[in-house]
């Protein structure tokens, strides 16, 4: 039991360190053929959003389309952050025999 407790404490320390590291990593996603680009970090925060000025200068700007493109790009960048986090957490908890999602 003591050995398992030490493993859990070690894993918790590794997780805290990993969370700090992942907060510095960024994931990028685009939509609309690159018209919208969203960049999020490992803390699942949107850190950059770029909208191609050309789509805003069209004669009839389709606001709903632009909103959909932004939502799509942001959601995809956040999904990438989730995948990255899950992959890195698996490295830490994989050897402990814990069910997925335990950390």
**In this model, does residue 88 exceed pLDDT 60?**
yes
> Alpha-carbon distance 90 to 65, whole Å?
37
What's the whole-model pTM score?
0.77
**Which CA distances in Å does 96 have to 4, 29, 103?**
9, 33, 11
> Alpha-carbon distance 4 to 93, whole Å?
12
Please give the domain boundaries of the chain with CATH numbers for all domains: 26-93 (3.30.1310.10)
Tell me the pLDDT tens digit for each residue of 25-70. Answer: 999 999 999 999 999 999 999 999 999 999 999 888 899 999 999 9
């Amino acid at each position: 039991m003591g050995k398992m407790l030490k493993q859990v404490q070690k894993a918790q320390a590794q997780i805290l360190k990993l969370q700090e590291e992942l907060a510095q990593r960024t994931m990028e996603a685009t939509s609309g053929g690159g018209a919208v680009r969203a960049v999020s970090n490992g803390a699942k925060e949107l850190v950059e959003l770029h909208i191609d000025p050309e789509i805003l200068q069209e004669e009839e700007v389709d606001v709903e389309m632009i909103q959909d493109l932004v939502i799509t790009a942001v959601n995809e960048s956040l999904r990438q952050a989730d995948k990255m986090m899950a992959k890195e957490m698996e490295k830490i908890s994989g050897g402990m025999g814990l069910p997925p999602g335990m950390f």
